[in-house]
Amino acid sequence: MEKVASMILNERLDALGESLDSIGQEAAREHLLELAALESSILDAVPQAIVGLHKRRIIFANNAIKETFGWNREELIGKSVTLLYRNQEESEEIARYFYSTLKRQRTFVNEFYCRHKDGRDILCRMRAARIGDRLTERRIVVTYEDITEKRRAEEELRRSHQQLRELSAHLQSVREKECARIAREIHDELGQSLTALQMDVTWLGTQLPAGCSHLAEKTKRMEQLVQATIESVHRIITELRPIMLDDLGLAAAIEWQAAEFQNRSGIECHVFVDCRDDYIQKDLASAVFRIFQETLTNVARHSRATAVWARLTQEKGVLNLQVTDNGKGITRKQAEDPRSFGIVGIRERVSLWNGCMRITGSKNKGTTVSIQIPICEEARE
């Protein structure tokens, strides 16, 4: 790096001018030489490749140039920086970008493809800065950080996340279809059998002879048990797949779920719905309904609320669901806790539809869950 030290030294001596006498100049020369040697050592300690350019020719380079590009720095001194790029055309394009940008600002950072000595393409994060305050002599220093493997790992991670999201979406769809199938079978088989059994028990009660009060009482209890079983079956069918979600659409299903929640929990649930079901895909309707269900479940379990306000609206290609309670509130730590599986499940369902979710809360002032999911505002056939 002697050339680096010499260049830095000459720069600083020129700046000193002739204001110093010969003794002062010699002392300054020794001091500046020490500083230049220190700075050249610092350059070699930097892990990124560094080159200095004068009119696009390399005037110095640090040791890291070997690791990044495969060139010994001695091989590059005096050569065109084109050696580090894939071809002349790209080199010219990068040069134009460099110099035009450095006219407006002293430094900048960008990413470009470069060329290793062995012919491999490598992606580099490049930081360029002017040497001195003026760019008229076209002197700059550039650092090169090879980020090829980093980008490859990020892309692989992105693909992996995308595959997991697609798998999750598929599993959600399969689960909803399986729930619908089981609900239909329970309704068609068990539901019909229980209804027939209820009719038979009722008929049997009418055929008992007078005076058999104990048999009549037993028959009545059997009828009540069958009726309770039928109601349980209806509840299970509804939880598996609400029939009205398929028959009447998301808006009606949301209103029904709110009424069911209020009756079951005793928490007032006020609902406002303003959306068109013919714009909402069947799978999306299922996802939003399940999100609403899970949100109400969290309210019942954790909020200590006495009232809930829910809004489902559609505006400018976005489906909005907002659920607010007047409970104890939620902290940021609780909202981001990976063990909060209800919230994690809601967030995952939202992300599958490229939506966004926000949870806010204040102590003793309640919690608000806001969901926005983009939709295509073209009526489904």
Does pLDDT of 141 surpass 80? Answer: yes
**Which SS3 state, helix, strand or coil, does residue 85 take?**
coil
pLDDT on residue 312: 92
CATH superfamily for 247-381 is Histidine kinase-like ATPase, C-terminal domain (3.30.565.10)
Does pLDDT of 72 surpass 70? Answer: yes
pLDDT on residue 324: 92
For β-strands 318-325 and 49-54, DSSP reports them as: unpaired
The domains of the chain are located at: 2-148, 149-241, 247-381
For β-strands 307-315 and 139-146, DSSP reports them as: unpaired
pLDDT on residue 18: 47
Alpha-carbon distance of 167 to 352, in angstroms, equals 10
CA angle 353, 357, 362 (to 5 degrees): 165
pLDDT tens-digit series, residues 227-267: 888 888 888 877 777 777 877 888 888 998 899 889 988 99
Alpha-carbon distance of 141 to 144, in angstroms, equals 10
pLDDT tens-digit series, residues 346-356: 888 888 888 99
Q: How many CB atoms lie within 10 A of CB 313?
A: 13
pLDDT on residue 215: 84
Does pLDDT of 296 surpass 80? Answer: yes
What are phi and psi for residue 360, nearest 5 degrees? -130, 150
What are phi and psi for residue 228, nearest 5 degrees? -65, -35
With cut-offs at 50, 70 and 90, classify the pLDDT of residue 307.
very high
**Which SS3 state, helix, strand or coil, does residue 377 take?**
coil
Does pLDDT of 31 surpass 60? Answer: no
Mean pLDDT across 191-196: 84
pLDDT on residue 370: 93
Q: Residue 334 carries which side chain, given as an amino acid letter?
A: Q
pLDDT > 90 fraction of the chain, expressed in percent and rounded: 18
Give whichever of 23-37, 96-110, 147-161, 179-193 has the largest mean pLDDT: 147-161
Higher pLDDT, 174 or 142: 142
Does pLDDT of 7 surpass 60? Answer: no
Lowest mean pLDDT segment, chosen from 14-23, 40-49, 233-242, 313-322 = 14-23
With cut-offs at 50, 70 and 90, classify the pLDDT of residue 309.
very high
pLDDT > 70 fraction of the chain, expressed in percent and rounded: 86
Mean pLDDT across 315-340: 85
Contact 296, 239 (CB under 8 A): no
DSSP state of 80: B
What's the mean per-residue pLDDT of the chain? 82
CATH classification for the domain delimited by 2-148, as one of 3.30.450.40, 3.30.450.20, 3.40.50.300, 3.30.950.10: 3.30.450.20
pLDDT on residue 234: 81
- The pTM is what? 0.58
pLDDT on residue 381: 45
